[in-house]
Structures are given as structure tokens and as C-alpha cells.
């Protein structure tokens, strides 16, 4: 079970036209076994869901009032099938 989340906000990267994928993958590589990733973006990052699923994470997305998104990526237990 995920005990805590590491927060990564890539909204400014996106607004400045910078590709956030390398920062996201660096954050994922540095997660501990009991950590998940809480990502803030200016849009729902649907293409990232497949990448994260291959790495063993399920996603739960939530639109924020100002139009941005918060997505929590939670590590699946070993042997568990991807959600949805």
C-alpha cells in the first residue's frame, strides 16, 4: 500500500513549452517501494497512463477547479492486474 506521495508539478514546464516527461520519469525512478507519484499538469496526461501501467502503477485522475489536473499514480501490488 502506498504510504505517501512524492509531488511533482509540471504545469509551469507545460506552460513554457518544455517537455516534462524526463522529469516525470526521473521522479518515478527515485520513488521508494511505499511511495506513489502525485502529478499536477495543465491537462489530463492520458498518454502517461500506459507508460505508468507498464511500470506497475495505476492512475487516479482528478480535475481541479482552475482547469488543471491532479493524477495520483499508485504502485500495484506484485502480481496484480492493472486497474480499468
Query: What are the residue boundaries of the structural domains of the chain, listed by start?
Result: 4-75
2 pLDDT exceeds 60?
no
Closest CA to 43 of 28, 65, 63: 63
DSSP code for 42? S
Question: What pLDDT does residue 77 have?
Answer: 79
* Architecture in CATH of 4-75: 2-Layer Sandwich (3.30)
This prediction's pTM: 0.90
Question: What pLDDT does residue 31 have?
Answer: 96
pLDDT digits (tens, 9 = 90+) for 7-18: 999 999 999 999
DSSP run (H or E) holding 74:
strand 69-75
Question: What pLDDT does residue 79 have?
Answer: 67
Give the alpha-carbon dihedral of 53, 48, 84, 44, to 10 degrees. 160
Amino acid at each position: 500500500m502506498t504510504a505517501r506521495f512524492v509531488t511533482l508539478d509540471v504545469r509551469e514546464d507545460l506552460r513554457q513549452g518544455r517537455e516534462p516527461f524526463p522529469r516525470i520519469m526521473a521522479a518515478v525512478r527515485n520513488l521508494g517501494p511505499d511511495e506513489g507519484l502525485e502529478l499536477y499538469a495543465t491537462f489530463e496526461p492520458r498518454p502517461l497512463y500506459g507508460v505508468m501501467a507498464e511500470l506497475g502503477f495505476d492512475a487516479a485522475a482528478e480535475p481541479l477547479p482552475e482547469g488543471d489536473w491532479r493524477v495520483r499514480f499508485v504502485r500495484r501490488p506484485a502480481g496484480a492486474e492493472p486497474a480499468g
